[in-house]
Amino acid sequence: MLSRSASNLYWMGRYLERADFLCRLIDATVRLASLPASHGGAQPAWESAIRSAGVAWDFEQRNLPVEEANVGHFLTLDPENPSSIRRCLEAARANGRAVRTALTLETWEAVNGAFHEIQRFGNAPPDSSTLVRIADSIKATLLMFDGAAHRTQLREATYWFLRLGTTVERADNTARLLDVKYHLLLPRTEPVGGSLDYFQWTTLLRTVSALTAYRWVYRESVKPWLVADLLVFNRAMPRSLIACLEDAVWLLDQLAASRGRRGPANRIASTALRRLSATDIDTLFQGGLHEFLEEFLNENNNLGNAIAEQYLF
């Protein structure tokens, strides 16, 4: 496969995953912001959304008050923000178009469909109900994309590069989200239970579509360290850091098997997975959750670079 095609597929996977993450972030933040001011209120909720999306610096350049109208627009429809849902979908479609022949008709139609769906909402700042509608409809088109890719793409390099992008981006998103909320997740000596925290945790879980999963796995009320455990160590949870690493290792193995070559990317992913498997939540807290996440994000970044280098992007 042409290296450029591999790169396009990888980045298409990344952009779509990022758009999906932003949808769920918006959805959860609108809910959190709708709580009475005694529960924290709207401003901190949107503040936290900006930081979770990793665009705090970009947003500050706008000199706009942190409130729903501005942040919501910035994250969804804003054509000037290179990380808005709109721009992610545009970039994903441009990538898809450049490798049009590697995609099945169904997969291409889904990417193209997501692009046309976001255009439907125009450029103007959306109100709350529009924000929710954007998040819902884009989420739906992206599910369609996953389904199309899963059902129709040949299981070969095309599919693996696409999924590799998804996986690397997903790990990055989960880690960043955890890092923004890490202070909430630290084990405390005093009994937990403030209702503010409860809503914050559930928001976090909602953002990764894991609220129900949490209940199934732990069968108890939401405890912060269990939330961290779920999102870092649970292999059954598709967005957990360990599950992402497992996916990355597997995908890189498939690629290596089909081209008979392993490289730095394979080693970085396997090493990271082995290290994470050998630790647990208590050890992790002792070393500091924030420090752990920073290092994880670094490693993940290295993995991305190694992939680009190994396959001559």
Partner 1 sequence: MRAFDETFGLEPYGAAAVRPPYAEVARWLQGASGELLETRRRQAELFFRRIGITFAVYGDPDAQERLIPFDIVPRIISGREWTRLEEGLTQRVQALNMFLADVYGPRECIRAGVVPEELVLLNPQYCLPQVGRRPAKDVWVHIAGIDLVRTGPDEFFVLEDNARTPSGVSYMLENREVMLRLVPELIHEISTRGGLRPVETYPEQLLETLTSVAPVGCPGDPCLALMTPGIHNSAYYEHSFLADKLGVELVEGSDLFVHADILYMRTTEGPKRVDILYRRVDDEYLDPLVFRQDSALGVPGLVNAVHAGNLTVANAIGTGIADDKAIYSYMPAIVRFFTGRDPILHNVPTWRCREPEHLAYCLDNIHELVVKETDGSGGYGMLVGPHATRAEREVFAARVRANPQHYIAQPTLALSTCPTLTAAGIAPRHVDLRPFVLTGANGSRIIPGGLTRVALKEGSLVVNSSQGGGTKDTWVVDGPEPGEVSGGVRGPIDAEGPGGFD
**Residues found near partner 1 in the complex (CB under 8 A):** 1-6, 94, 97-98, 100-101, 105, 108-109, 112, 157, 255, 259, 261, 311-312
Q: How far is the CB of 300 from partner 1 (least distance, A)?
A: 21
Per-residue DSSP letter, 102: G
And the tokens for 97? 């178009």
Q: How far is the CB of 20 from partner 1 (least distance, A)?
A: 23
Residue 9 or 213 with smaller CB distance to partner 1: 9
Answer whether 268's CB lies under 8 Å from 306's CB: yes
Residue 3 or 283 with smaller CB distance to partner 1: 3
Answer whether 269's CB lies under 8 Å from 252's CB: yes
Residue 104 or 209 with smaller CB distance to partner 1: 104
Residue 135 or 248 with smaller CB distance to partner 1: 248
Q: How far is the CB of 170 from partner 1 (least distance, A)?
A: 22
Give the C-alpha separation, 236 to 172, whole Å. 18
For the chain, the C-alpha Rg in angstroms (whole number) is: 19
Q: How far is the CB of 97 from partner 1 (least distance, A)?
A: 5
Residue 161 or 214 with smaller CB distance to partner 1: 161
- The residue length of the chain stands at 313
Answer whether 40's CB lies under 8 Å from 116's CB: no
And the tokens for 2? 């042409």
Q: How far is the CB of 259 from partner 1 (least distance, A)?
A: 5
And the tokens for 256? 């290596």
Q: How far is the CB of 149 from partner 1 (least distance, A)?
A: 17
Give the C-alpha separation, 255 to 264, whole Å. 13
**Angle between the 289-310 and 157-180 helix axes, to the nearest 10 degrees?**
160
- How many Å from the N-terminal Cα to the C-terminal Cα in the chain? 11
Give the C-alpha separation, 77 to 218, whole Å. 37
Q: How far is the CB of 30 from partner 1 (least distance, A)?
A: 34
- Bin 63: left if φ > 0, else alpha if -120 < ψ < 50, else beta: left
Residue 231 or 255 with smaller CB distance to partner 1: 255
Residue 200 or 310 with smaller CB distance to partner 1: 310
